[in-house]
């Protein structure tokens, strides 16, 4: 069920103080503390006009098996090569796995990094969002205030992007939501919680009953956080002749007139206004899209989330990300068991939504200014284990990029005969983050102070991968 603001029985002032404070404190503006604001202003020269205006990051939490998807080794021993065959792509001489036929057709629009390599063996997206790979599973599994800030948080801290739309959004929910934990990575860390992203909410729906290693399709749409005291309204119950956002103005106005909202401080009122603005709600209203476009992305929550990402960057958001993770239904990429069965279930959806996003952006003239990044926190072991699975392997993985100033039709880096290690051109977590910052026009050598006032490099010593830049 899609939860949105609407009519209903509420306390006398329209909304509870607890809920109003929660919504009013959402991190949509950035720069809400004076010391950080002054420091960010002093570093304004660190931002110039980049090739990319926005980033859409699809995070495949768990670690997708690169040797079964994009770097197949058909001549490797049976215990390595797996069950799938390579197929040719639109780039002569470049092959991908048979489960990705649509992606194969758009490889001439993409850059494929086959040598993403680091030393951070932990199931959270800390290295993905921050570029830091020096932590440990014991110390960095859960998010904490001393963490390094994410790329989206740094962008907010530097004041990048439009101020009338949430600039940093993660859909359909925060990493770890399905296991009741807050995984490290997407937060403001020592910059402050005011630079956290806006996390959408998702009322889980599934096509059937899945298990941890037996996926079923995850359905539904991401939604803006709503007020708990107000009733649920579904898209099916609303008048189909008008889009959702135009039907909510009366309800929003009623809440805005409440004593609690009027009693908020200036920053809280701005955040509340941003969350409930027509522009924000319109960006989340995928019912405005044609059925043809919606069918291209499909009915999974991962597809509708990517479609919402496209609408957000079209409206002016700077950094938006889809976190593909739902443990109970098998919607994750941590494939210690049944790796080939899981790939057969998940890879076709990945194939559909990634190709749909890239083609959609290209047809709308948005691809050149939007950097698309598809990756997980690690790869998987070359050797198949006793449970017909593959285990953790941060030594080698892949990143697929498109648009935003990267080369078209390029493969960067080669791996050995078993896809275990880079043979040349390894790309570290810091290198990848430095590349993304560079494309956004952010000085990747910039430092920000941690909680002890030590200057820390936002790219952690990484360098842009200049070979892949257009």
Q: 119-123, 189-193, 422-426: which range is least confident on average?
A: 119-123
pLDDT at 330 over 60: yes
Helices (H) and strands (E) in the chain, counts: 16, 18
pLDDT in tens, 345-357: 999 999 999 999 9
pTM for the predicted model, two decimal places: 0.85
Average pLDDT score over the chain:
86
CA 449 to chain centre: 25
Please state, in angstroms and rounded to a whole number, the distance separating the CA atoms of residues 118 and 251.
Answer: 49
Query: DSSP label at 407?
Result: P
Model pLDDT for residues 233-251, shown as the tens digit of each residue: 343 433 443 455 555 555 5
- The pLDDT value given to residue 243: 53
> What confidence tens digit (pLDDT) does each residue in 57-95 have?
999 999 999 999 999 999 999 889 999 999 999 999 999
Q: What is the pLDDT of residue 206?
A: 95
What count of residues does the chain have?
A: 470
Which run of H or of E encompasses 261?
helix 259-262
Considering only residues 265 and 298, tell me which one the structure prediction assigns the higher pLDDT. 298
Could you tell me if 321 and 59 are in contact, meaning their C-beta atoms sit under 8 angstroms apart? yes
What residues contact 176, with CB distance under 8 A and at least 6 apart? 124, 182, 183, 325
Q: DSSP label at 419?
A: S
DSSP line for 224-257 = ----TTSPP--GGGS-TTS-GGGGSHHHHHHHHT
Q: Is the pLDDT of residue 10 over 80?
A: no
- Percentage of the chain beyond pLDDT 70 is 80
- Say which residues have a Cβ less than 8 Å from residue 372's Cβ, sequence separation at least 6: 55, 56, 58, 354, 357, 358, 361, 400, 401, 402, 403, 404
């Amino acid at each position: 069920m899609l939860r949105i603001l609407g009519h209903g029985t509420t306390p006398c002032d329209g909304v509870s103080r607890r809920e109003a404070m929660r919504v009013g404190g959402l991190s949509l503006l950035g720069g809400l503390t004076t010391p950080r604001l002054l420091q960010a202003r002093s570093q304004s020269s660190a931002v110039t006009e980049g090739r990319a205006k926005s980033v859409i990051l699809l995070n495949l939490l768990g670690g997708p098996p690169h040797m079964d998807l994009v770097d197949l080794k058909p001549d490797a021993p049976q215990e390595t090569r797996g069950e799938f065959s390579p197929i040719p792509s639109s780039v002569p001489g470049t092959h991908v796995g048979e489960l990705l036929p649509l992606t194969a057709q758009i490889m001439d629009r993409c850059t494929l990094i086959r040598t993403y390599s680091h030393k951070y063996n932990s199931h959270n997206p800390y290295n993905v969002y921050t570029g830091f790979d020096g932590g440990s599973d014991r110390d960095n599994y859960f998010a904490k205030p001393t963490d390094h800030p994410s790329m989206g948080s740094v962008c907010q801290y530097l004041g990048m992007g439009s101020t009338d739309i949430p600039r940093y959004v993660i859909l359909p929910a925060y990493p770890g939501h399905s296991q009741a934990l807050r995984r490290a990575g997407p937060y403001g860390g020592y910059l402050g919680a005011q630079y956290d992203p806006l996390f959408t909410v998702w009322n889980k729906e599934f096509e059937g009953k899945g298990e941890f290693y037996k996926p079923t399709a995850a359905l539904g749409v991401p939604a803006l956080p709503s007020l708990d005291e107000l009733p649920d309204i579904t898209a099916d119950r609303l008048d189909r002749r008008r889009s959702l956002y135009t039907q909510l103005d009366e309800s929003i106005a009623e809440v805005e007139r409440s004593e609690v909202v009027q009693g908020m401080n200036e920053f809280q009122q701005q955040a509340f206004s941003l969350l409930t603005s027509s522009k924000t709600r319109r960006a989340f209203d995928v019912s405005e899209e044609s059925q043809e476009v919606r069918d291209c992305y499909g009915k999974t929550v991962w597809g509708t989330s990517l479609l919402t990402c496209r609408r957000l960057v079209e409206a002016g958001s700077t950094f938006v990300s889809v976190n593909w993770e739902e443990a109970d239904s098998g919607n994750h990429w941590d494939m210690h068991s049944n790796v080939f069965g899981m790939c057969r279930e998940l890879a076709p959806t990945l194939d559909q939504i990634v190709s749909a996003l890239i083609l959609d952006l290209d047809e709308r003239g948005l691809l050149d200014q939007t950097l698309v990044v598809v990756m997980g926190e690690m790869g998987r072991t070359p050797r198949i284990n006793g449970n017909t699975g593959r285990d953790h392997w941060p030594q080698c993985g892949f990143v697929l990029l498109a648009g935003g100033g990267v080369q078209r039709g390029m493969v960067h880096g080669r791996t050995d005969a078993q896809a275990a290690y880079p043979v040349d051109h390894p790309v570290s977590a810091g290198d990848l983050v430095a590349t993304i910052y560079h494309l956004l026009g952010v000085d990747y050598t910039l430092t920000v102070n941690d909680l002890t006032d030590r200057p820390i490099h936002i790219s952690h010593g990484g360098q842009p991968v200049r070979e892949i830049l257009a």
